[in-house]
Copies of this chain bind each other. A is one copy, B any other.
Amino acid sequence: MSLTKQLQNFAGTAVAKARDAGLPVDDAQAYYSDRIEPLLIKKISRFIIPFVRRSGVKVLELESGHVLCEMPIKGNVNHIGTMYAGALFTLAEFPGGPLMLATFGMRRFIPIVTALDMEFLKVAKSNVRIELNMSAEQARAIEAETLEHGKAEFVLEGELVNAEGEIVARSLAKYQMRPRRR
């Protein structure tokens, strides 16, 4: 069973229990969506894709519209001892999934990455972080367009920052959002 399916089942059980206990179901559902799901995604997402897990990247912060991830330099150096370009790419690509799950939930939409442009500005000799943000306005516009037209195109731009706060790389990811097939 896929992780999404497992989490959906878990969500269903949690909401049913809340209903049985006489709690307002909408509140229970909202609590689950807003609090429990992002926490699960934050803890679990990096283990889903073996390639990502092997890199050692971690989700440090995750909430609706915001994700912060860190790639360790350990195990990810290139032939000159700085962070390998593929590790920087993975740091730029991977957080988009958790961000969108935390922002749009796991039931309605599927984001597909259609392009990712990396610009390498400086060698990275430390752990590297990326923060991706999506405003509520942008999320609402994507949601509305996906529901109306069956898809929506959008971009997420990221700055990859070393331990000294210097930008070592920039990323521009292009996504297409589609409704999940029932």
User: A: which residues have CB within 8 A of B?
Assistant: 2-4, 48-52, 54-55, 75-79, 84-87, 89-90, 93-94, 97, 113-120
In the complex, residue of chain B having the shortest beta-carbon distance to the beta carbon of A91? B86
A86 / chain B contacts, CB cutoff of 8 Å: 51-52, 55, 86, 89-90, 93-94
Kindly state the separation between the CA atoms of A51 and B86 in the bound complex, as whole angstroms. 8
A79 touches B3 (CB 8 A): yes
Q: Contact partner of A118 among B79, B84, B117, CB < 8 A?
A: B117
A51 touches B84 (CB 8 A): yes
In the complex, residue of chain B having the shortest beta-carbon distance to the beta carbon of A94? B86
Shortest A106–chain B CB gap in Å is 11
A85 / chain B contacts, CB cutoff of 8 Å: 89, 93, 113, 116
In the complex, residue of chain B having the shortest beta-carbon distance to the beta carbon of A54? B54
A3 / chain B contacts, CB cutoff of 8 Å: 79
Task: Tell whether A116 pairs with B118 under 8 Å between CB atoms, given A77-B49, A78-B49, A93-B85.
Answer: yes
In the complex, residue of chain B having the shortest beta-carbon distance to the beta carbon of A90? B86
The 6 closest A-B pairs by CB, nearest first: A86-B90, A117-B117, A89-B89, A51-B84, A115-B119, A48-B79
